[in-house]
Amino acid sequence: MIRQTQLQTIFKKFKDIKLAYLFGSQAKGNAGKLSDYDFAVYLDEQEANSKNSLIKRTDIKLELMAKLQSALKAEKIDIVILNDTDQPELKYHIIQDGKLIYQEEPYRIIIEPKILNEYFDFRHTLRQYGLTKA
């Protein structure tokens, strides 16, 4: 597998990427021959909310995917943009179980607590309505 420093170099080329995680089977070390690479990125909020943000986010995602496919010599790469997903459990598991492989200070200490708060509010609501076993 490619070294973390090589991945950091790739993510650093994208000025809008503030955090990047590897998650899933590759991060856990139990990947098989058919396993894909799962990455999650957090983009600059100002850029994510700009007028042409959807087009720019799509361009970033496609360009990043191409660079990662080339570096990892793998076709199966999934990229989650954390700013866009409305799944608190997914975001929580990414930051809890995934590996932070790139960060631009001070985004981690700003974003991860927001994700944790969102998740625990979500869990509370699920419990309140009896929608969880916990």
pLDDT digits (tens, 9 = 90+) for 56-75: 899 999 999 999 999 999 99
pLDDT digits (tens, 9 = 90+) for 30-51: 999 889 999 999 999 876 566 6
Specify the pLDDT at position 101.
Answer: 97
**Could you tell me which residues come within 8 angstroms of residue 49 by beta carbon, excluding any fewer than 6 positions away?**
none
Tokens of 81: 């943009």
Domains of the chain: 4-128 (3.30.460.10)
pLDDT digits (tens, 9 = 90+) for 67-115: 999 999 999 999 999 999 999 999 999 999 999 999 999 999 999 999 9
- Closest of 94, 6, 111 to residue 48, by C-alpha: 111
Provide the whole-model pTM.
0.90
Rounded to whole angstroms, the Cα distance separating 66 from 32 reads 22
**Could you tell me which residues come within 8 angstroms of residue 47 by beta carbon, excluding any fewer than 6 positions away?**
16, 53, 56
Tokens of 95: 């930051």
